[in-house]
Amino acid sequence: MNRVAIIGAGIGGLATAIRAATSGRQVELFEAAPEVGGKLRQLSLGDYRFDLGPSLFTWPQLLMDTLEQAGGAAAPFSFVKLDRSCHYFWPDNTRFTAWSDQAKLAAEIERAFDTDAQAAMRHLQRSAEGFEATRGLFLEQSLHEASSWTLARTAQHLRAAWRGRRALPLTRTLSGWNARAGHPKLQQLFNRYATYNGSDPYRAPAMLHVIPHLEFGMGTFAPEGGMHAIVEALHQTALNLGVRIHTDTPVSRILTTAGQVSGVRTADGKERPADVVVSGADVTPTYRQLLPDQRAPERILSAESSTSGVIFYWGVRHPAPDLHLHNILWAQDYRAEFKALFQDESIAEDPTVYINIGSRTSPADAPEGAGNWFVMVNAPAGWETSGLDHLRTRVMAKIQRMTGIDVAAHLECEHVLTPADIATRTGSHMGALYGPASNRPMSAFLRHRNRDRKLKGLYFVGGSVHPGGGIPLCLLGARITHELMEQHDPI
């Protein structure tokens, strides 16, 4: 079981390649795009450099742990901890800075919302307790293996959950739980964390309340050199370990023989033998296109999709002094925004707007006095682009109304990604950024497993499978997948 073929050079595929290579396996990685990175690629427009994909870096120890597996072959990587996670702007001119320092944060809550901060700080403490109580059970192991549920391991997790039971809401929606935050605007702020896996806070389970701990408890970070530095470090480390990476090489079929995988066939017709195949591609095209003769998990493939996004990449010649690395301009009616996304399959007339300015921490990414703006609006997966021009006008008007910046008057370059573009560039089903949404109480168990139990030697990694999307969860998924590989298909 020495030869491993990995499909897709996103974060999950690269991290799995590193772990497999360090255990002595011969690894080949196949990427359809001209460059590695998956959703986390980059774009240069004149004097501006943009990170195309994820813009938030949390839980850096997961990345460092992956690199440390390579020992002396690890590429250098460095990052800094930020003194704040985000600047928030409301339509009524309320402004709030989410400071990393707890005392400073409490004082800012009292200043911005004219309310006692104790309820909000207790809410964050419950987030921390819930995270620690459940991480070993729901994030750091497979949910679909009998070995995960041995008496000893289950007892260990239940003890942790019992200690944190005060912070484990089992029957509420996230929005209902967040009503405890102490102020309607804070409830709205904490509701936003459902969007970290593309879900609706008014239907998503309250267990998602653990997500804010990643920012408010563990901290927000910035890689030196921008988010693409994460890809560069993983890519170089894989090369240093002898991983053979084939870009511009789409896989057309996963080959099988007598109930087990035997390799992959690339689009040029070449067959590459392998004892183990790991699909880092979205689970839907993996079954529909790469395994058309195999029975597909229809219940999972038909699940409600997470949101996608429309992203404007703007080079803006303006200092924007009130904006930081991460910024949120809230919708007037947040509930109506999610009704539009999940029921009407549209974008609300007044959507929440996220602005990331990477040059705040990587000044070389934009000229002095300018910024490389990554401006994102949540969109339904598969959203039709006929309303793109209208959306662009609305977003620019909202920014001017809430920050005073006339983007159009200072715009030097532009690039746009729509859900259709995301689907084409990354293979994500309908452009959904996180695979299935987590809008049901048992959503964590409805994600596809990391090991196929019917085809021996077939594994899965990436945002559409357990434990989910985003950089931290894809890195955890790589670790889980490699551990399963070592257990079920050892060398």
What's the CATH number where 280 sits? 3.50.50.60
pLDDT of residue 442: 76
Query: What six digits make up the tokens of 27?
Result: 């690894």
Query: What six digits make up the tokens of 363?
Result: 């000044």
Where in the sequence is the domain holding 354, given as residue range(s)? 304-426
Q: Which residue has the tokens 């998956």?
A: 38
On whether residue 230 sits in a domain, the answer given is: yes
72 in Cβ contact with 436 (< 8 Å): no
Which residue stretches of 28-166 are H helix? 60-68, 102-113, 118-134, 151-163
Whether residue 309 sits in one domain with residue 422:
yes
Count of CB atoms situated within 10 Å of the CB of 14 = 33
Q: By three-state DSSP, how is residue 343 classified?
A: coil
Whether residue 469 sits in one domain with residue 409:
no
347 in Cβ contact with 391 (< 8 Å): yes
Look at residues 219, 244, 268 and tell me which one is the last residue of a structural domain. 219
pLDDT of residue 341: 98
On whether residue 332 sits in a domain, the answer given is: yes
DSSP 8-class letter at 308: E
Cβ-proximal residues to 249 (8 Å cutoff; 6+ apart), any chain: 30, 31, 32, 266, 267, 268
Q: Which residue has the tokens 């690894």?
A: 27
Whether residue 344 sits in one domain with residue 232:
no
pLDDT of residue 167: 57
pLDDT digit string, tens, across residues 416-436: 999 999 999 999 999 999 999
CA angle 353, 358, 359 (to 5 degrees): 125
On whether residue 264 sits in a domain, the answer given is: yes
Look at residues 219, 253, 284 and tell me which one is the last residue of a structural domain. 219
pLDDT of residue 48: 98
Query: What six digits make up the tokens of 241?
Result: 């370990």
User: What is the H or E stretch that residue 471 is in?
Assistant: helix 471-488
pLDDT of residue 138: 83
Render each residue's pLDDT in the chain as its tens digit; 491 residues.
Answer: 699 999 999 999 999 999 999 999 999 999 999 999 999 999 999 999 999 999 999 999 999 999 999 999 999 999 999 999 999 999 999 999 999 999 999 999 999 999 999 999 999 999 999 898 889 878 889 888 877 767 666 666 666 555 555 557 777 899 999 999 999 999 999 999 999 999 999 999 999 999 999 999 999 999 999 999 999 999 999 999 999 999 999 999 999 999 999 999 999 999 999 999 999 999 999 999 999 999 999 989 999 999 999 999 999 999 999 999 999 999 999 999 999 999 999 999 999 999 999 999 999 999 999 999 999 999 999 998 889 999 999 999 999 999 999 999 999 999 999 999 999 999 999 999 999 999 988 776 678 999 999 999 999 999 999 999 999 999 999 999 999 999 999 99
pLDDT of residue 146: 76
Task: Report the phi/psi class of residue 149: left, alpha or beta, with left for phi > 0 and alpha for psi in -120 to 50.
Answer: alpha
Separation CA 189–CA 124 (nearest Å)? 12
Whether residue 280 sits in one domain with residue 320:
no
CA angle 386, 388, 393 (to 5 degrees): 135
Separation CA 433–CA 421 (nearest Å)? 12
Cβ-proximal residues to 258 (8 Å cutoff; 6+ apart), any chain: none
State the virtual CA torsion across 5, 9, 15, 18 in degrees, nearest 10. 50
240 in Cβ contact with 77 (< 8 Å): no
Whether residue 402 sits in one domain with residue 483:
no
Tell me the helix, strand and coil percentages in the chain, rounded to 5. Answer: 40, 20, 35
Q: Which residue has the tokens 């996670």?
A: 85
Strands 276-279 and 3-7, by their bridges, are parallel
Separation CA 233–CA 239 (nearest Å)? 10
Separation CA 312–CA 65 (nearest Å)? 33
pLDDT of residue 110: 98
Whether residue 172 sits in one domain with residue 139:
yes
pLDDT digit string, tens, across residues 209-264: 999 999 999 999 999 999 999 999 999 999 999 999 999 999 999 999 999 999 99
Whether residue 367 sits in one domain with residue 327:
yes
pLDDT digit string, tens, across residues 259-274: 999 999 999 999 999 9
298 by Cβ neighbours in 10 Å (0-12 / 13-18 / 19+) ranks as exposed
Whether residue 273 sits in one domain with residue 235:
yes
Whether residue 273 sits in one domain with residue 208:
no
Q: Which of 359, 360, 339, 363 is nearest to 349 (CA)?
A: 339
Query: What six digits make up the tokens of 179?
Result: 């009503």
Separation CA 160–CA 133 (nearest Å)? 5
Which residue stretches of 181-268 are H helix? 184-191, 212-216, 228-240
Q: By three-state DSSP, how is residue 96 classified?
A: strand
On whether residue 90 sits in a domain, the answer given is: no
Whether residue 228 sits in one domain with residue 215:
no
Terminal-to-terminal C-alpha distance of the chain: 5
For every residue of 232-257, DSSP letters joined together read: HHHHHHHHHTT-EEESS--EEEEEEE
Look at residues 372, 392, 426 and tell me which one is the last residue of a structural domain. 426
Find residue 451's DSSP bridge partners: 459
Cβ-proximal residues to 461 (8 Å cutoff; 6+ apart), any chain: 12, 13, 15, 16, 278, 279, 280, 450, 474, 477, 478, 481
On whether residue 440 sits in a domain, the answer given is: no
On whether residue 91 sits in a domain, the answer given is: no
When divided into structural domains, the chain yields a total of 3
Count of CB atoms situated within 10 Å of the CB of 350 = 19
Q: Which of 55, 427, 52, 38 is nearest to 235 (CA)?
A: 38
Whether residue 138 sits in one domain with residue 204:
yes
On whether residue 235 sits in a domain, the answer given is: yes
Query: What six digits make up the tokens of 47?
Result: 């004097």
pLDDT of residue 229: 98
On whether residue 438 sits in a domain, the answer given is: no
Q: Which of 89, 95, 27 is nearest to 244 (CA)?
A: 27
Whether residue 192 sits in one domain with residue 122:
yes
